[in-house]
């Protein structure tokens, strides 16, 4: 299912300049004021004083009358405060700055973002495509954009003494020249061994020996509240350390992300991208990658790629030069309480299948819209994002065992995963070209079950969008209802309209239950 538009900006913390972008609004949480007639002072004093009451002993009525609280068992301490000075002294020399330069052509998404107030470099970030069409994100003009020079700044860290470095894919994307600067101010020209936009991980190599390295940790041992520390080059300020705690685990960000991000409140800013996130023992548990922000700067919401995910991608890149990801071929959404009750489920857990792609692994395995996937290889699927992570980090051709809730009972289904790359190539091959007079839409008929799930009477689903339609703001997942005021019933109908070579068409699309007219200028 499509994500609802967010008033947020998901910022890649990999370039220097910043600007104002969309805002991520959170509903304030209010705490009821205490009753003025009841003083909280006695409770505070009682909690602060050593308890003389033996465990299990009754509390006297006089004590209760005096307003004292019964003693509460303290949470056992899990360890001392981390020695951040020691962590920095040990790991800092293995953290590097990454400077990139090159030229690139603006994509359709970038053209959508021209004139949107974004700083140089941010318009090329993969996550900004999910915010096209928001106020302030409209282009000033149309037409092609020539090759444009760019420079960027990020961070990275050394994982092997012979010069292997991890950073973010968005830091080095389109880069012609990549320079790595060590903490001792030595500089090396780096070779990009490979990058994986799906996980936003890139692997670099420099020609050096006996380099300092970081110690790698286990992010699965992290818990919410654990201390963490980030080191990087925010805004170009090298060897900058910030600290915070783990705010959440397994976060899914906009798009079909396969990464279960670690959320922290450690300060991360542009230039921190690709830098390491350390746990309290000084081991790397993540790669700092994204922030949510109203201003483009740090506002308490930072996201890191778990290091075990990055290492799995690294191993593939070092061996083959690229990373591959499994694909099940389903569109899913979260299960809320109302849906769980209607399906006869005890809890609102799992990933609800909204659509099944033709000829996909899911279709071959017999998955249907309305199924709820609750487990993958024994791993529970609590939210739809969990399914993306479990499937995306598996390999094409791998067999997975799914536990599925269907018709008020659980069944087991085995599926052999396809390749995400093959699916993208097929979508590109099926999509219409971007030449003048073409819409740039890949369409397919909606099944009866999909219409029921989407609560739509539309006939065609937009599976891919490029060219004129993309520039006009049409999005993948929209349902095409009408063209030039006439209800759409088939792809042939669209072709017949386009055969007349109109200069513009008016499309009526349905998005998130609402219908909007979108004018498409074909030139």
Which one is catalytic: 273, 283, 360, 386?
273
Rg (alpha carbons) of the chain, rounded to whole number = 26
Pairing of strands 486-487, 479-483: antiparallel
- Contacts of 163 by beta carbon, 8 Å cutoff, 6+ apart: 188, 205, 206, 207, 208, 209, 211
Sign of CA dihedral 268, 273, 279, 283: negative
DSSP E strands in 335-429: the ranges are: 351-356, 372-376, 379-380, 399-406, 409-416, 418-419
Q: How far apart are CA 241 and CA 476, in angstroms?
A: 40
Q: What number of CA atoms fall less than 13 Å from residue 125's CA on the CB side?
A: 27
The single-letter DSSP state of residue 500 is T
Q: How far apart are CA 442 and CA 451, in angstroms?
A: 18
DSSP letters spanning 243-293: EEEEEEEEE--TTT----EEEE-S---TT-TT-EEEETTSEEEEEEEEEEE
Whole-number Å distance between alpha carbons of 274 and 195? 12
Q: Are 321 and 194 in contact (CB under 8 A)?
A: yes
Helix (H, G, I), strand (E, B) or coil at 332: strand
Report yes or no: 153 and 98 within 8 Å, Cβ to Cβ: yes
Going from the C-alpha of 185 to that of each of 56, 233, 237, 453, the distances in angstroms are 63, 13, 13, 58
| Residue 200 falls in the annotated catalytic set | yes
Catalytic residue among 200, 226, 349, 478: 200
273 labelled catalytic = yes
3-state helix, strand, coil in the chain (%, to 5): 20, 30, 45
Return the SS3 of 57. coil
Based on the residue annotation, tell me whether 184 is a catalytic residue of this protein.
no
For 354, residues 6+ apart whose C-beta sits below 8 A from its C-beta are: 1, 330, 331, 332, 333, 369, 450, 453, 454
Query: Which residues lie below 8 Å from residue 209, measured CB to CB, with a gap of 6+?
Result: 161, 162, 163
Strand partners, 303: 263, 290
365 and 353 Cβ atoms separated by less than 8 Å: no
Q: Which residues are catalytic?
A: 170, 200, 273
């Amino acid at each position: 299912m499509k994500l609802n538009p967010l008033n947020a900006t998901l910022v890649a913390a990999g370039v220097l300049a910043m600007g104002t972008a969309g805002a991520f609004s959170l509903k304030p949480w209010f705490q009821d004021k205490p009753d003025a007639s009841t003083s909280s002072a006695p409770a505070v004093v009682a909690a602060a004083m050593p308890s003389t009451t033996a465990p299990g002993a009754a509390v006297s009525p006089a004590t209760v009358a005096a307003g004292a609280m019964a003693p509460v068992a303290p949470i056992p301490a899990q360890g001392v405060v981390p020695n951040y000075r020691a962590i920095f002294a040990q790991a800092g020399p293995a953290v590097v700055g990454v400077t990139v330069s090159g030229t690139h052509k603006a994509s359709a998404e970038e053209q959508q973002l021209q004139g949107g107030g974004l700083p140089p470099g941010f318009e090329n970030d993969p996550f900004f495509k999910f915010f096209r069409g928001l106020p302030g994100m409209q282009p000033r003009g149309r037409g092609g954009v020539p090759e444009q020079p760019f420079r960027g700044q990020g961070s990275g860290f050394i994982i092997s003494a012979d010069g292997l470095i991890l950073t973010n894919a968005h830091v080095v994307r389109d880069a012609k020249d990549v320079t790595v600067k060590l903490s001792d101010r030595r500089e090396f020209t780096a070779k990009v061994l490979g990058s994986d936009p799906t996980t936003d991980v890139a692997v670099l190599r420099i020609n050096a020996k006996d380099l300092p390295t970081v110690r790698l940790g286990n992010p699965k041992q992290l818990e919410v509240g654990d201390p963490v520390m980030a080191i990087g080059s925010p805004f170009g300020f090298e060897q900058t350390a910030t600290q915070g705690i783990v705010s959440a685990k397994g976060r899914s960000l906009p798009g079909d992300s396969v990464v279960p991000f670690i959320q922290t409140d450690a300060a991360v800013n542009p230039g921190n991208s690709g830098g390491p996130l350390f746990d309290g023992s000084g081991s790397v548990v993540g790669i700092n990658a994204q922030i949510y922000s109203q201003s483009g700067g740090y506002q308490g919401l930072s996201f890191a790629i778990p290091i075990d995910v990055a290492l799995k991608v690294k191993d593939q890149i070092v061996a083959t030069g690229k990373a591959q990801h499994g694909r099940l071929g389903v569109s899913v959404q979260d299960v809320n309480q109302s849906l769980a009750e209607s399906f006869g489920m005890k809890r609102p857990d799992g990933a609800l299948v909204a659509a099944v792609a033709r000829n996909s692994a899911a279709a071959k395995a017999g998955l249907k819209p309305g199924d709820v996937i609750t487990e993958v290889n024994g791993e529970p699927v609590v939210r739809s994002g969990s399914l993306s992570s479990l499937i995306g980090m598996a390999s094409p051709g791998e067999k997975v065992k799914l536990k599925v809730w269907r018709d008020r009972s659980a069944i087991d289904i085995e599926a052999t995963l396809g390749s995400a790359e093959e699916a993208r190539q097929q979508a590109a091959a099926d999509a219409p070209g971007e030449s003048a007079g073409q819409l740039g839409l890949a369409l397919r008929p909606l099944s009866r079950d999909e219409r029921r799930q989407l609560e739509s009477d539309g006939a065609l689903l937009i599976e891919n969008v490029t060219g004129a339609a993309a520039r006009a703001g049409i999005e993948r997942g929209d349902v095409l209802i009408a063209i030039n005021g006439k209800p759409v019933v088939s792809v042939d109908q669209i072709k017949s309209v386009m055969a007349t070579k109109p200069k513009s068409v008016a499309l009526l699309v349905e998005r998130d239950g609402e219908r909007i007219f979108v004018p498409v200028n074909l030139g």
